[in-house]
Amino acid sequence: MKLKIAIQKSGRLSEESLRLLKDCGISLNNGISKLKTEAYNFPLEIFFLRDDDIPQYIEDGVADIGIVGENVLLEKNKQVKTIDRLGFGKCRLSLAFPKEKNYKSVKDLNGLKIATSYSNILAKYLKQQKVKAEIHEISGSVEIAPGIGLADAICDLVSTGSTLLSNGLKEVEVILRSEAVLVANKDLAKEKKELLDKLLFRIKALRSANNNKYILLNAPNKKLDAICKILPGMKSPTILPLAEKGWSSVHSVVEENKFWEIIEKLKLNGAQGILVVPIEKMII
């Protein structure tokens, strides 16, 4: 039995979705088919699809799991289960308004025409905000709509905002903060669930590795107590004697977000020759 995963065929999520599989130690056969391929060292079949189609395929059970932006997931509103947030493909779904026009609050959109590819999410948002505007659904190049007189405002994905700026628009409201998520069919068979758990175990090991660094340093023995208090390690730091008498080498694992703070304290406490090494996988 193979687990079937759907990923975006070509677009902003494709490269990182493939990299995630690769970092999980899954190698793909370079098949001739552009639609699907298989892994040769994990029971996994990979389908390459348009991102918009992924939620439906998973709801129907054509694919078991998939990687898709939360924006697409919410817009399509299919019956699938979100398993994990993947930390890439980050963007915002925002309302944008012509730069030169005055904008104070969302109420200013009353009676206007808004172009978007996200009519469901937008309709829900406008309803919550008690704004009555006309939604004009278009499938691509939404940002040019105000410029050509097709709409007064737009609701579209933004990452840096440079596309908006170059089209004479300003971001005025953020409706949703999105990233790529791993989703699954709601009734996976037991064997498939087990395969999914195996994959999740690997994804979590990667994430821990990315959030941690391996650190090596030298310290005089009389400072070891103080240094060990600063370094928590996975259990406790490893201490090895150096050839030079009275000195030791200390090894430990440090969380990325506490990293600089810890380095400063280590230096103050006599640590020398500090080396920091990335960790590839971390199994706790």
Q: How far is residue 146's CA from residue 77's CA, in Å, rounded to a whole number?
A: 28
Q: Which residue number, 72 or 133, has a Cβ lying nearer to ligand ATP? A: 72
Stretch that binds ligand ATP, among 50-58, 102-110, 255-263, 272-280 (CB under 6 A): 50-58
Residue 178 contact, options ligand ATP, Zn ion, none, Cβ 5-8 Å cut-off depending on partner type? ligand ATP
Instruction: Determine, following the binding rule CB under 6 A, whether residue 183 of this chain makes contact with ligand ATP.
Output: no
Structure tokens at 36: 């699907």
**Is 183 or 271 the residue whose CB approaches ligand ATP more closely?**
183
Assess 51 for contact with Zn ion (CB under 5 A).
yes
What would the two tokens of residue 69 be?
A: 């932006």
- What does 61-118 look like in DSSP terms, one character per residue? TSSSEEEEEHHHHHHHT-SEEEEEE-S-S-EEEEEEEETTS---SGGGGTT-EEEES-
Query: Binders of ligand ATP among 5-34, rule CB under 6 A?
Result: 8, 11-13
Nearer to ligand ATP by C-beta: 13 or 106? 13
Residue 199 contact partner, candidates Zn ion, ligand ATP, none, CB within 5 to 8 A by sort of partner = none
Does position 157 interact with ligand ATP (CB under 6 A)? The reply is yes
CA distance 253 to 238: 10
Q: Does the footprint of Zn ion cover residue 16 (CB under 5 A)?
A: no
Q: Is 69 in the site for ligand ATP (CB under 6 A)?
A: yes
Q: Does 52 bind Zn ion (CB under 5 A)?
A: yes
Binding partner of residue 237 among Zn ion, ligand ATP, none, CB under 5 to 8 Å per kind? none
By the rule CB under 6 A, 177 interacts with ligand ATP: no
In terms of CB distance, is 6 or 195 closer to ligand ATP?
6
Which positions ≥6 away from 196 have C-beta within 8 Å?
A: 3, 64, 65, 83, 184, 188
Task: State whether residue 113 is helix, strand or coil.
Answer: strand
Q: Which is nearer to Zn ion, 8 or 167 (CB)?
A: 8
- The residues pairing with 145 across neighbouring beta strands, listed in sequence order, are none
| Rounded Cα gap, residues 83 and 76, in angstroms | 17
Closest C-alpha to 48, from 9, 18, 12: 9
Residue 214, Ramachandran bin (φ over 0: left; ψ between -120 and 50: alpha; else beta): beta
As a whole number of angstroms, the distance between CA 242 and CA 244 comes to: 5
Considering only the stretches 49-57, 127-135, 191-199, 231-239, report the one whose residues sit in contact with Zn ion under the rule CB under 5 A: 49-57
Positions touching ligand ATP (CB under 6 A) are 8, 11-13, 50-52, 69, 71-72, 89, 91, 157, 159, 178
